[in-house]
Amino acid sequence: MSELQSAPHQGPHRAPHRAVWPPGLPHHLALPETHLFHNVEVSAQRFPDKPYLIFYDTQISYARFKDEAERLAGYLQQACGVKRGDRVLLFMQNSPQFVLAYYAILRADAVVVPVNPMNLSEELQHYVQDAQASVILAAQELFPQVQPLLHAGRASGQGLQHAIVATYSDYLEVPTDLRVPDVVTAPRQALNEPGAVTWSHALSQSHQPAPMCAGPDDLAVLPYTSGTTSHPKGCMHTHRSVMYNVVARGVWLGSQPESVQLAVLPFFHVTGMQNAMNGTLYLGATAVLLPRWDREVALQCIARYKVTGAQMISTMVVDMLNHPRIDEFDLRSLNSIGGGGAAMPEAIATKLKALTGLDYIEGYGMSETMAATHVNPVHRPMKQCLGIPIFDVDARVVDPLTFEDLPPNEVGEIIVSGPQVMKGYWRNPQADEESFIERDDKRFLRTGDLARVDEHGYFFMVDRLKRMINASGFKVWPAEVEALMYHHPAIQEVCVIAAPDEKRGETVKAVVVLKPDQQALPGQITEQTIIDWAHTHMAAYKAPRIVQFVAQLPRSGTGKIQWRTLQDQEHNHARATDKAPHKHKDTMP
């Protein structure tokens, strides 16, 4: 297919990124029109004895994976009554059981509803009710959050009726010298709740599933958004829209069946799910699983299993590079390190490049797009950049009010159209109406993210649509200030928020985590020294006037810094004192 055929509506002014397109890659992807479980069948037939999953030195082959996933699917259908299109909750940390449960649900022609394992019962109840789910596969340590909902559901005949409870230690089958979290080594506990059975019991029944009936346009996965302003909303993804990024990332990065992926980003979130889990399976490659970030174990696994690719958010990279013995680990097998969610500070990217010789390949996506819509070209990446629109994606920067295209380097909202965009929000037509617009006979998703696109077609994040500080009429973009502050040698992490100010309306506040060696030297680095440094390294209007030291920053289940939590705390404090808490004598803008 020619370039014009693959994107007939785009003139050269709308596709400047074609000039920096990776050499040899097509502009259009022909996707498999198959059920996602077909990927399991193909890889198990091609590589039956090859390890798909490695979990603290225990290896799960493709043949074993297919067998256990099918037996679990049979149990879901025959013992739990799961039917085509039913939503089934998946409530675990990264583990062999998470992956097996995911594909067992798909094999039963049902819909996977991945749930953040940090949720408590009250939060979990929203997923049960909204997704109208009667079955959950949950980890043992999370079952106390499930138990009251299961008890209430069975008593009322509505809500949860069945729970399959997994014990991570069931898949610790060989001795290991790796540091294993207590939650993973915990032995299996007895279950006394009606409707709940152990994972081992479900497998032991050896039920075989009915033939697959679902097709590419059936619902497959229902990931929920973070719900920062309201209850989480389910994003309706079909086998077709999930398949897009299962295939696309491997093509973009040139991944091969011989690839070994470090799977440390959580699988309940679309980035880890698509790249390290689904994409690895599609290739017939190997994934080394970690349920939690542990820099020591991650470095050991990279060296031990000759890991070729690692998806890590910027905070993980910062932590890894701060390991005091990082030079002792053999990282030569790595040929790709990347991620998204927050821009990689230039100072950290430079340090990573010096250590590994690799550029950090940033990308951009969201739950609504089942992972990436943009990725940096591997041969020509830009720092602190979302990348360029990938195969068959039409992405634009528009005026958030008129939706008219903006010229290069003007800040506006990103809108995207592509094969990976969701059908819509589950049972929420109002949210659909607010989130989708029609342009040039295509349906575009409003991302709510502010960005600019340069003359070469690279997209640069500015901030969330509503995350902006207005200081005396000057617009300050927190992400830019954070990137600059990472150059300070004592700062490990930073989050910039708005603080109420009687004179300026708002002023810039930085919440800072110092590096461990600086924390051990009280008085050496003070809030004022950080403020003074900032005033010498950035424009006066954007330099933080207030600095607060904290031991750690709040994080979501995916490891992203929760800036909204800090912002809400600041506003609540101002309301409680009934005044703007910070006054300044100077006259700088």
Judged by DSSP in three states, 328 sits in: helix
- Residue 237: strand pairing partners: 221
Residue type, 399: D
Selection from 218, 215, 339, 241 nearest residue 29 by Cα: 241
Strands 237-238 vs 219-221: parallel, antiparallel or unpaired: antiparallel
Q: Is residue 349 left, alpha or beta, with left meaning phi > 0 and alpha meaning psi from -120 to 50?
A: alpha
Q: How far apart are CA 133 and CA 105, in angstroms?
A: 12
Residue with more model confidence, 583 or 517: 517
Domain 61-214: CATH class, spelled out: alpha beta
Residue 408 CA, chain-centre distance (Å), reads: 28
State the average pLDDT over residues 424-443: 95
- What is the pLDDT at residue 469? 85
- Strand locations in 291-330 (E): 309-311
Judged by DSSP in three states, 111 sits in: strand
Q: What's the pLDDT tens digit per position in 507-544?
A: 999 999 999 888 767 678 999 999 999 998 887 888 99
Three-state secondary structure of 115-179? CCCCCCHHHHHHHHHHHCCCEEEEEHHHHHHHHHHHHHHHHHCCCCCEEEEECHHHHCCCCCCCC
State pTM to two decimals. Answer: 0.83
- Residue 111: strand pairing partners: 87
Q: How far apart are CA 481 and CA 434, in angstroms?
A: 30
Three-state secondary structure of 41-62? HHHHHHCCCCEEEEECCEEEEH
Q: Domain spans of the chain?
A: 61-214, 475-577
Q: Taking 50 as the threshold, does the pLDDT of residue 45 lie above it? A: yes
Tokens of 450: 């502010």
Residue type, 394: D
Q: pLDDT over 90 for what percent of the chain?
A: 78
Q: How far apart are CA 448 and CA 458, in angstroms?
A: 18
Q: Taking 60 as the threshold, does the pLDDT of residue 75 lie above it? A: yes
23 CB-contact burial (10 Å; exposed 0-12 / middle 13-18 / buried 19+): exposed
Instruction: Say which residues have a Cβ less than 8 Å from residue 354's Cβ, sequence separation at least 6.
Output: none
Residue type, 316: M
State the average pLDDT over residues 213-237: 85
Dihedrals phi, psi of 464, to nearest 5 degrees? -65, 155
Neighbour count for residue 219 (Cβ, 10 Å)? 23
State the average pLDDT over residues 454-473: 83
Q: How far apart are CA 288 and CA 580, in angstroms?
A: 50
Distances (CA, A) of 571 to 159, 507, 568: 37, 12, 5
Please name the fold of domain 475-577: GMP Synthetase; Chain A, domain 3 (3.30.300)
Dihedrals phi, psi of 583, to nearest 5 degrees? -120, 150
- What is the pLDDT at residue 471? 82
Same fold, 61-214 and 475-577: no
Q: What's the pLDDT tens digit per position in 559-573?
A: 889 998 999 899 888
Binned at pLDDT 50, 70 and 90, residue 285 comes out as: very high
- What is the pLDDT at residue 473? 63
Residue 484 near residue 438, CB atoms below 8 Å? no
